[in-house]
């Protein structure tokens, strides 16, 4: 199965976000609502997007004590979102609590664990004091996430082949830092093109600014879909 596209709605204007989704086809892509938009516009925006037929990835990266994360995941599921995420570094107990909070619910959202942010490079990662490489740390977190029963992880496309080998092909991988032009990195470090990410085995590609800042966003989405189809 070819990779699927998630468009990151990183706007400080509700109307700008809605103007964009009106130009896109919910049959072609899902949308991601992150911390900025959720803080500004809350659950109403999420409900509006769901009502428009979009699958919504609520990207709030929950990271807290297990009970708090479990309650947050349960609340997110009640919004009708398609995907939510937690930080894998919160540990097995936290991820298991999140998974258990979602069990038995109608239309359970996918639960994804964040490994290492794609804005991190080796130099920045070394300042965290973790005595292993980014790749080794990602593999360890992915293995722990898989054992905790989550559906997949957020990771760079470069880490996908080893994760699939470790956790199985059905373990989902969500890849941010996807750029049409590798010279345009913005604040990302471990970046790939859509075709590279798809060939490496990523299941979902998160693309933001290359689409949201385009003169014709629908045309860019169509070009990406043709590239990875």
Reading the block at residue 81, the tokens are: 């979102």
Residue of 135, 139, 140, 95 lying closest to 113 (CA atoms): 95
The DSSP line for 114-128 is E-S-TT--HHHHHTT
61 is known to lie in a ligand binding site: yes
115 is known to lie in a ligand binding site: no
**Tokens 């709030």 — which residue?**
60
80 is known to lie in a ligand binding site: no
188 is known to lie in a ligand binding site: yes
**Is 169 part of the annotated catalytic residue set?**
no
12 is known to lie in a ligand binding site: no
The strand pairing partners of 87, in sequence order, are 114
187 is known to lie in a ligand binding site: no
65 is known to lie in a ligand binding site: yes
209 is known to lie in a ligand binding site: yes
Q: What is the DSSP letter of 104?
A: T
The helix (H) or strand (E) run that includes residue 60 is: strand 56-62
176 is known to lie in a ligand binding site: no
Residue 52: phi, psi to the nearest 5?
-80, 0
Positive or negative, the Cα torsion across 19, 20, 21, 23?
positive
CB atoms within 10 A of CB 170: 9
**Tokens 């009708």 — which residue?**
80
Are 188 and 158 within 8 A, CB to CB? no
Which of 12, 51, 55, 64 is labelled catalytic? Answer: 64
Reading the block at residue 27, the tokens are: 């049959």
Residue 47: phi, psi to the nearest 5?
-60, -40
Which of 16, 51, 52, 61 is labelled catalytic? Answer: 61
118 is known to lie in a ligand binding site: yes
Which of 59, 151, 164, 203 is labelled catalytic? Answer: 59
**Is 12 part of the annotated catalytic residue set?**
no
165 is known to lie in a ligand binding site: no
**Is 61 part of the annotated catalytic residue set?**
yes
43 is known to lie in a ligand binding site: no
177 is known to lie in a ligand binding site: no
Residues known to be catalytic: 59, 61, 64
Annotated binding site for substrate: 10, 32, 59-68, 118, 179, 188, 208-209
Annotated binding site: 10, 32, 59-68, 118, 179, 188, 208-209
């Amino acid at each position: 199965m070819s990779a699927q596209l998630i468009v990151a709605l990183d706007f400080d204007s509700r109307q700008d976000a809605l103007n964009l989704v009106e130009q896109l086809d919910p049959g072609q892509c899902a949308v991601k609502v992150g911390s900025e938009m959720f803080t500004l516009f809350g659950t109403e925006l999420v409900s509006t997007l769901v009502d428009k037929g979009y699958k919504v990835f609520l990207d709030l990266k929950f990271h807290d004590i297990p009970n708090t994360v479990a309650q947050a995941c349960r609340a997110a599921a009640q919004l009708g979102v398609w995907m939510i995420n937690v930080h894998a570094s919160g540990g097995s107990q936290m991820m298991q609590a999140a998974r258990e909070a979602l069990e038995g619910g109608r239309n359970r959202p996918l639960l994804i664990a964040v490994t290492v942010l794609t804005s991190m490079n080796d130099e920045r990662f070394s300042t965290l004091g973790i005595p292993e490489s980014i790749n080794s740390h990602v593999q360890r977190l992915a293995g722990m996430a898989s054992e905790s029963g989550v559906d997949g992880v957020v990771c760079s496309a470069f880490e996908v082949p080893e994760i699939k080998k470790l956790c199985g092909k059905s373990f989902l991988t969500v890849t941010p830092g996807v750029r049409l032009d590798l010279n345009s990195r913005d604040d990302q470090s471990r970046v790939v093109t859509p075709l590279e990410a798809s060939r490496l085995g990523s299941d979902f590609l998160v693309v933001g600014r290359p689409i949201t800042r385009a003169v014709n966003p629908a045309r860019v989405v169509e070009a990406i879909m043709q590239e990875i189809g």
